[in-house]
Every structure is written in C-alpha cells, then in structure tokens.
Amino acid sequence: MNRVPVLIPVNRLSKAKGRLAGLLTPEERKTLALITLESVLHAAGPGAIVLTPDGEVALRVRGRARVLDEDPQRQGLNAQLEAAVAALVADGTARDALLVLHADLPLASGEALETLVDEGSANTAVLVESLDGGTNAMFVRPPGRFPLSYGPGSFALHRDAAKAAGMAVTVNTNRELRLDLDTPNDLRELLRAPRGRQGAAGVYLLSIGIEARLERLA
C-alpha cells in the first residue's frame, strides 16, 4: 500500500502489551509486539512512517520505514501524534492525506488499507473501530483538522470531533483492521479463524502454548 503516508506509533518495547501481562512473559509480549509491527509494516509498504521513543524499534525498521523520534518535551500519545502530524504536514509528506495505523493489527494487509483509503474522498475521515471502542485506523483527507483522542472510547471521540470540524465521517468495518491484540479475548478472536492461526502472530502464539494458557485463564 503506497498511495498515502502511513503513520505508525510504536510504544517502548518494555511497555508492550501490558494488558497481557497475566498471560505472556515480558519477552513474549515484546516478541508479539515486534511480530505484529512487521505485519503492519508489510501492509503499509514504502509509505510507512514509524513514530517511536524506542531505539531497538528504530533500528529494526530503519531502511524500511521513515523513523520519527518522539519529542521528550511532550507527554502522552496524543501530543506525540499531533506533533508528528503537524511536522508531516509542514514538510509536505502528509499535506493532503494521512493514515494513522496501530502497530498491533495481526491481520492487516495492503488490500485492506487500499480499501480504507479508497473510501476517503476530500474532507473525509475514515475510521476503523476496534472491538473495545478504540480507533485502530484513521484515514484523514486532509490531516490536522481535529484533535486526537487515542485512549478508551477514542472511536466515538474521533467521530464526533471530525464531524464538529465539518468533515464527513465513514466507518470501515473490515475485520482485518478491527482486530488488535490487547487482551486475552483478542487472542481468542485471532485464533478462531484459520487465517488468524496461520498468520505470523497466530503461529507464534500457538508455538508457545497459548491455547492451554487461555483455557486455564477462562
């Protein structure tokens, strides 16, 4: 997918997948985060831009994605993303359009992103709601028209903010983009379908015996 720039925020690996701490070890959570990041980078293609404070992440993706360092003077994901968006608009990279994409979407594909972008005409925000009400993907044409509100309930906040800014809002319901991996239930959802089990994240999770762990947790 190379028609528009794709901004992918990636947290420090030491903080990766914190809500899975009762199910996966720190090293397993880190490995899972890197596997899903690879899937998202592959889907994004040459337009990928990774925003991260983590030196290991930057080293891994450099040469395949543009790397933006987080601003140490800014606190929180929304402040970091808004600064990155402003910079990308200012330098012309994202003057007309931008896709903001989470790094933990195990089923993401270039085709799914193309479909998302195709729905975004001028003055439009195309949103993908996660299973728990977050915003897994957001395509905006143009970017920077409304404040970002990532966190609990962000989908509704982004939808309302875009409308308040006078933008049309389209909701994309593609399952490939709706599923992220934050909770044990997300892992169960991934493993329900053959494609999830056969993808990189599914293969890894099965290799470490995740099904038995999920059964014990139930």
DSSP string spanning 14-45?
A: GGTTGGGTTTS-HHHHHHHHHHHHHHHHHHHG
What does the pLDDT average to over 162-182? Answer: 97
pLDDT, one tens digit per residue, over 86-134 is 999 999 999 999 999 999 999 999 999 999 999 999 999 999 999 999 9
- Give which of 49, 83, 41, 91 is closest to 66, Cα–Cα: 49
Residue partners of 113: CB distance under 8 A and separation at least 6? 1, 6, 43, 44, 99, 101, 137, 177
What does the pLDDT average to over 52-74? Answer: 95
Query: 2 or 169, which is more confident?
Result: 169
Quote the pLDDT of residue 1: 64
Quote the pLDDT of residue 3: 78
The single residue listed with the structure tokens 């947290």 is: 11
pLDDT averaged over every residue in the chain? 96
